Amino acid sequence: MSDRKIKIELVYALPQEQSLLSLEVPPASTIADAIVLSGLLEKYPEIDLEKGKFGLFGKLSKSDMVLREKDRVEIYRPLLADPKEVRRKRAEEGKVMKKGGGDL
């Protein structure tokens, strides 16, 4: 067996804190393997390898995706609000304001 490893980056961001790690992992490691090896699961127990969303360079990927040299693994947090719903509500409020004219 070879001691060769591949270099990757792993990123996880919270509103007030960001983690950017450079790691060396064995060849044929998956996204899930890299997250486990990074130690981020101990620091951030909210990361869920089963239900969580992950990406490589901004492209959604499954946790069993095999990594390549210089890949950037991104761990995504669940959305607090549905962007489509927020835009819909904002549009409705704008329409109501225009129709009513408001009290000036």
Express each pLDDT in 33-67 by its tens digit: 999 999 999 999 999 998 899 999 989 999 999 99
Q: Band of the pLDDT at 95, cuts 50, 70, 90? A: low
Tokens standing for residue 19? 């983690």
For 39, phi then psi, to 5°, come to 85, 0
Query: What CATH number belongs to 6-100?
Result: 3.10.20.90
Nearest Cα neighbor of 73 from 18, 14, 12 is 12
Are 50 and 35 a contacting pair, CB within 8 Å?
no
> What are the domain boundaries of the chain?
6-100
Amino acid 97: pLDDT: 45
Question: For the chain, what is the mean pLDDT?
Answer: 86
Highest mean pLDDT among 1-10, 26-35, 78-87: 26-35
Report the C-alpha gap between 82 and 75 in whole angstroms. Answer: 19
Report the C-alpha gap between 41 and 46 in whole angstroms. Answer: 8
